[in-house]
């Protein structure tokens, strides 16, 4: 550290500032003078590091004053007496003038040989103590003049010409001197600058020769034998010039000296051959550079190979009824040396039992005598022998190899695969399971032997179905999903699948197994309320236990995932919850405390029983309708007219009116028996005298119905609106209640619910669907609705609503059994094969039964009743005219049968079916030797428009249909 001091500097004049850095964030740096060689002429501020003058004596010109200083971190204690500190540093202070000072005592740097010309190398800066401009000059010591230059004012050293580390005329180290001179004849000073040039990997290794060759190398030389040597050079230095070798053929290896050896047994069989490969020389630079050369190794052939069979085990099949001279198989062997090969059986000779082999060709046949193949298989050991013709003296060593021929005796493919456990398959798959989830492992057995008994599995795709919903491993029978199922969507609760097992015989035989996969539920649907908000009127004097309002939510999930539990809260006013409770299962809000306010606001949560549960909330607003049970009674219904003069004074009595409270009588009645002593009990009776104008409400109809609705109405749909008029004059308010009965038909399970509404001064009651309706389960309902007025005395009346369900076409015809039939070959066209049968749950009865129909007239329409197996099913056919006939109704209920017209249906051109009866007949005369089995797909359709979701109401022969198909396997026999 250097600085200057003016000769006449006053006391406390700053001359230098000490600066030390500490990377710690909690440092506490203090500065000290350790040794003073100035006679006390300077002091240092302990905290700021500022060095100042002391005393009034003038400083001497060009005299050097030296201080030794250090810095301590007094937050970093070494021991009890010491802190962390810097080493002692020398501070030189000169009186008057001194030469400029470079910031470093010497400068060194390193540059790569590929440094760009005119690029900055290093900055060499000096400080002027006289505050003058400094000029910089650069001079080379020894070689290198002109290689670098320096900015005269910036002190930045730049590369003046390009470098090449490999150029012997250029040094690798440049020794330079930089001089800093102050303007206007000031002082100057110099410093040494050393620049070292480093090598760059800019030269690739080069081989001495582009092509290396080795001749007459024996193919049986020992592994690791030296064959030839290659050599490459690299003009770079250090690791950039260190070379390692690699070869492209794993028959050979190369070491770091370039010596190539064989890494495997060489082979010159059949012809004198050569190996051609590439040797790569790679340096160790970063990145590495490479050079290549081609190597050819020429080898000589020797008779060192034995004949090789094309396979070690041959497994031909021969029919059990094969005759003399039947071809069994041909064995093939070759000798890599190029020798000729002859065949025979182990032990010598060309015959073995009933089999013979041709010595030259390797053909194996049955002999020309009577044949008796009474075993499942025969094992033959065959030999192949070379003759050494490939090479000079090759016949001195003869080579032999052997193979096994296992002759399998096949039987006639007269058994088809059978799924013995098919009736027990009831697999389940969870909805939402990922594609590829396992379903079940099916298994089919075939009693045939060999390939005739080998079974492979496949999925039978249903007609009109895009893709398959399941896949099966053709070898293991593992059935997996081929999609992600949605139980509440189009997939439904059950999905049918048909697996086919095909043996490998020729022609192959097939067996099928159809079963149903249950799609099990996951809790993926939250409850859904039928209203966004419930608003209801409540009578002020409603008694404790009164059913106030029923909220209703539905959940498409099944079992616990769709089972809903209701809970009640009062988030707006916590006190409201004291007045009401909710039945968890039904959703009825019940009064548990007398009402004393005009309005109550509640919130109902519907939660399913899934794990974890899903829930939904809805607000309930209850407005209390005041009912004054005992209004006062006027003495007169009308007062006046009262005549008064216009000029009467203020305070004059005009008239007097009077009202009295309604009369209430309280009595006490006693019941007493005639025993001895007699026992009795009393009861209080209260009689309110009411106005004659208070009459019970009057219904628009005493009986509503029959009302016909379709079974597929959605939950929340309105069935009918009913209305009763109040029996109290000028008081239209009434209250309705749907009375639950003791059976499902009388709304025991709340199949319907009631919703009250006001319209044009009247109060209506809308009856709505609360649970899905199913004609096939319950066909009619008998509901009772009670209505009360809002008078002082509650008077009520009841009405009956009859609801009849109409059947919709929502069931798919299902076949009653799986079919497998046989047909004799040669039978004439039109021969009956079998009869299929399908049943429609919508009311279709088996085709071979005669329907018993009776007609009942409903105004301009008819209903039909059919009686089957003791059931009583009723269907209404609206809009039909009096000309309706028995055949018309049969067409609507009939199941029709069709051969599926699809390229996949292999039997469609060979069979035909009766559309009404399901009987299947032949269309051709069959030849079993041409094809032994046919798979036939049959479709059943009902005869009415579809009411199922996503049917799009597309017509088919004038009417949309659902269909269900199954595969019918027909076998042709002798």
In a domain, 736, yes or no: yes
Residues of the chain short of pLDDT 70, as ranges, are 269-272, 462-466, 626-634, 637, 659-666, 684, 686-694, 729-731, 791-794, 816-820, 843-893, 946-974
In a domain, 318, yes or no: yes
Residues 817 and 943 in one domain: yes
Burial 425-439 (b: 16+ CB within 10 A, else e): bebebebebeeeeeb
**Among residues 581, 605, 625, which one ends one of the domains?**
625
Burial 917-933 (b: 16+ CB within 10 A, else e): ebbbebeeebebeeebb
Helix, strand, coil % (nearest 5) of the chain?
5, 45, 50
**Among residues 520, 541, 564, which one ends one of the domains?**
520
Render 763-787 in DSSP notation, one character per residue.
Answer: EEEEEEE-S---TTT--EEEEEEEE
**pLDDT recorded at residue 963:** 31
Residues 90 and 11 in one domain: yes
Residues 435 and 450 in one domain: yes
Rounded CA Rg of the chain = 56
Report CA-CA distances (Å) from 573 to 212, 295, 449, 722.
Answer: 100, 97, 82, 35
Residues 104 and 87 in one domain: no
Residues 87 and 138 in one domain: no
In a domain, 638, yes or no: no
Domains of the chain: total:
8
Residues 181 and 285 in one domain: no
Instruction: Please classify residue 475 by burial: count the beta carbons closer than 10 Å to its beta carbon, then call 0-12 exposed, 13-18 middle and 19+ buried.
Output: exposed
In a domain, 278, yes or no: yes
Tokens of 306: 């034995």
Q: Which of 948, 837, 938 has its CA nearest to residue 894?
A: 837
Residues 836 and 947 in one domain: yes
Residues 323 and 443 in one domain: no
Burial 158-178 (b: 16+ CB within 10 A, else e): bbeeebebeeeebbeebebeb
Residues 149 and 186 in one domain: yes
Note whether 918 and 837 are within 8 A (CB).
yes
As a whole number of angstroms, the distance between CA 626 and CA 487 comes to 49
Instruction: Please classify residue 609 by burial: count the beta carbons closer than 10 Å to its beta carbon, then call 0-12 exposed, 13-18 middle and 19+ buried.
Output: middle
As a whole number of angstroms, the distance between CA 897 and CA 907 comes to 15
259-262 and 232-233 strand pairing = unpaired
**pLDDT recorded at residue 270:** 59
Sequence-separated (6 or more) residues with CB below 8 Å from residue 169: none
Residue with tokens 């799924």: 419
DSSP state of 827: P
Question: Domain range spanning residue 787?
Answer: 698-806
> How confident is the model over 852-864, as pLDDT tens digits?
333 333 333 333 3
**Among residues 625, 643, 669, which one ends one of the domains?**
625
CATH number assigned to the domain comprising residue 383: 2.60.40.60
Report CA-CA distances (Å) from 472 to 361, 423, 496, 905.
Answer: 44, 18, 14, 20
In a domain, 114, yes or no: yes
Tokens of 426: 């009831």
**pLDDT recorded at residue 938:** 85
In a domain, 41, yes or no: yes
C-alpha dihedral, 288 to 292 to 298 to 304, nearest 10°: 20
In a domain, 690, yes or no: no
Measured in degrees and rounded to the nearest 5, phi and psi for residue 565 equal: -125, 135
The C-alpha angle 63, 66, 69, rounded to 5 degrees, equals 160
Measured in degrees and rounded to the nearest 5, phi and psi for residue 886 equal: -60, -40
The three-state (H, E, C) secondary structure of 890-916, written as one string: HHHHCCEEEECCCCCCCCCCCEEECCC
In a domain, 706, yes or no: yes
Residues 218 and 80 in one domain: no
Residue with tokens 């008994």: 453
As a whole number of angstroms, the distance between CA 550 and CA 534 comes to 9
Report CA-CA distances (Å) from 572 to 407, 592, 600, 619, 970.
Answer: 90, 19, 9, 10, 73
Residues 913 and 815 in one domain: yes
Tokens of 967: 């595969």
Sequence-separated (6 or more) residues with CB below 8 Å from residue 218: 266, 299, 300, 302
The three-state (H, E, C) secondary structure of 279-309, written as one string: EEEEECCCCCCEEEEEEEEEEECCCCCCCEE
The C-alpha angle 495, 501, 504, rounded to 5 degrees, equals 160
Residues 376 and 451 in one domain: no
CA atoms within 13 A on the CB side of 896: 16
């Amino acid at each position: 550290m250097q600085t200057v001091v003016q000769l006449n500097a006053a006391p406390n004049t700053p001359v230098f500032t000490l600066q030390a850095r500490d990377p710690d964030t909690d440092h506490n740096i203090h500065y000290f003078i350790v040794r003073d060689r100035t006679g006390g002429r300077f002091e240092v501020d302990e905290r700021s590091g500022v060095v100042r003058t002391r005393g009034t004596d003038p400083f001497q010109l060009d005299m050097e004053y030296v201080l030794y200083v250090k810095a301590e971190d007094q937050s970093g204690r070494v021991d009890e007496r010491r802190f962390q500190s810097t080493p002692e540093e020398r501070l030189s202070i000169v009186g008057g003038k001194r030469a400029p000072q470079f910031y470093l005592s010497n400068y060194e740097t390193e540059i790569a040989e590929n440094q760009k010309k005119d690029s900055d190398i290093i900055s060499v800066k000096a400080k002027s103590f006289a505050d003058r401009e400094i000029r910089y000059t650069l001079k080379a010591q020894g070689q290198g003049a002109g290689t670098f230059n320096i900015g005269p004012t910036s002190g930045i050293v730049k590369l003046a010409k390009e470098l090449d580390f490999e150029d012997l005329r250029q040094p690798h180290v440049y020794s330079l001197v930089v001089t800093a001179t102050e303007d206007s004849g000031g002082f100057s000073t110099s410093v040494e600058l050393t620049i070292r040039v480093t090598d760059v990997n800019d030269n690739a290794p080069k081989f001495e020769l582009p092509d290396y060759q080795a001749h007459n190398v024996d193919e049986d030389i020992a592994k690791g034998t030296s064959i030839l040597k290659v050599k490459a050079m690299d003009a770079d230095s250090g690791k950039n010039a260190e070379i390692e070798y690699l070869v492209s053929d794993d028959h050979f290896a190369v070491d770091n000296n370039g010596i190539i050896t064989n890494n495997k047994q060489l082979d010159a069989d059949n012809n004198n051959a050569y190996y051609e490969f590439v040797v790569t020389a790679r340096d160790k630079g970063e990145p590495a550079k490479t050079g290549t050369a081609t190597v050819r190794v020429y080898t000589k052939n020797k008779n060192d190979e034995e004949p090789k069979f094309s396979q070690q085990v041959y497994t031909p099949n021969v029919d059990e009824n094969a005759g003399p001279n039947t071809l069994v198989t041909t064995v093939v062997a070759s000798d890599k040396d190029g020798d000729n090969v002859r065949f025979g059986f182990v032990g010598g000779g060309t015959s073995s039992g009933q089999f013979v082999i041709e010595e030259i060709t390797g053909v194996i046949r049955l002999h020309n005598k009577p044949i008796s193949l009474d075993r499942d298989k025969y094992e033959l050991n065959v030999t192949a022998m070379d003759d050494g013709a490939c090479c000079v003296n090759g016949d001195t060593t003869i080579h032999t190899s052997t193979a096994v021929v296992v002759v399998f005796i096949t039987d006639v493919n007269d058994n088809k695969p059978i799924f013995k456990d098919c009736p027990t398959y009831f697999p389940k798959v969870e909805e939402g399971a990922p594609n590829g989830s396992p379903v079940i492992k099916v298994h089919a057995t075939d009693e045939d032997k060999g390939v005739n008994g080998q079974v492979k599995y496949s999925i039978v795709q249903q007609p009109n179905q895009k893709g398959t919903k399941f896949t099966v491993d053709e070898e293991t029978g593992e059935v997996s999903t081929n999609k992600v199922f949605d139980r509440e969507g189009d997939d439904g609760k059950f999905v049918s699948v048909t697996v086919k097992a095909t043996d490998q015989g020729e022609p192959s035989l097939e067996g099928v197994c159809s079963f149903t996969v249950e799609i099990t539920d996951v809790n993926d649907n939250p409850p859904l309320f039928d209203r966004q908000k419930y608003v209801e009127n409540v009578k002020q004097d409603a008694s404790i236990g009164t059913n106030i309002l029923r909220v209703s939510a539905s959940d498409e999930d099944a079992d616990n995932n769709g089972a809903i539990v209701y809970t009640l809260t009062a988030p707006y006013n916590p006190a409201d919850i004291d007045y009401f409770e909710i039945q968890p299962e039904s959703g009825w809000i019940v009064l548990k405390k007398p009402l004393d306010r005009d309005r109550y606001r509640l919130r109902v949560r519907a939660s399913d029983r899934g794990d974890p549960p899903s829930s939904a909330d809805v607000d309930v607003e209850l407005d209390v309708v005041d009912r004054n049970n005992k209004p006062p009674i006027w003495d007169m219904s009308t007062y006046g007219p009262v005549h008064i003069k216009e000029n009467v004074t203020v305070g004059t009595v005009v008239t007097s009116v009077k009202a009295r409270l309604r009369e209430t009588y309280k009595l006490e009645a006693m019941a007493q028996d005639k025993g001895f002593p007699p026992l009795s009990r009393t009861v209080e009776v209260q009689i309110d005298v009411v106005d004659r104008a208070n009459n019970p409400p009057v219904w628009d109809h005493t009986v509503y119905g029959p009302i016909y609705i379709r079974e597929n109405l959605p939950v929340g749909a309105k069935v009918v609106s009913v209305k009763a008029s109040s029996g109290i004059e000028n008081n239209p308010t009434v209250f309705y209640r749907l009375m639950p009965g003791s059976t499902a038909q009388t709304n025991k399970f709340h199949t319907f619910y009631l919703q009250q509404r006001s319209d044009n001064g009247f109060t209506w009651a809308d009856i709505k669907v609360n649970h899905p309706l199913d004609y096939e389960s319950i066909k009619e309902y008998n509901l009772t609705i009670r209505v009360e007025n809002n008078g002082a005395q509650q008077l009520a009346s009841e009405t009956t609503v009859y609801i009849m369900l109409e059947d919709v076409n929502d069931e798919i015809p299902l076949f009653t059994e799986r079919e497998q039939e046989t047909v004799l070959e040669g039978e004439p066209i039109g021969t009956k094969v079998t009869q299929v049968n399908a049943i429609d749950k919508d009311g279709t009865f088996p085709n071979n039964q005669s329907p018993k129909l009776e007609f009942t007239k409903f105004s301009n329409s008819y209903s039909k009743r059919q009686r089957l197996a003791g059931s009583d099913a009723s269907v209404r056919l609206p809009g039909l005219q009096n000309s309706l006939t028995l055949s018309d109704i049969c067409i609507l209920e009939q199941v029709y049968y069709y051969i599926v017209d699809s390229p996949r249906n292999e039997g469609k051109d060979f069979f035909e079916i009766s559309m009404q009866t399901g009987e299947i007949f032949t269309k051709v005369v069959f030849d079993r030797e041409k094809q032994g089995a046919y798979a036939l797909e049959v479709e059943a359709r009902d005869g009415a428009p579809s009411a199922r979701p996503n049917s799009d109401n597309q017509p088919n022969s004038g009417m949309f249909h659902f269909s269900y198909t199954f595969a019918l396997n027909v076998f042709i026999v002798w």
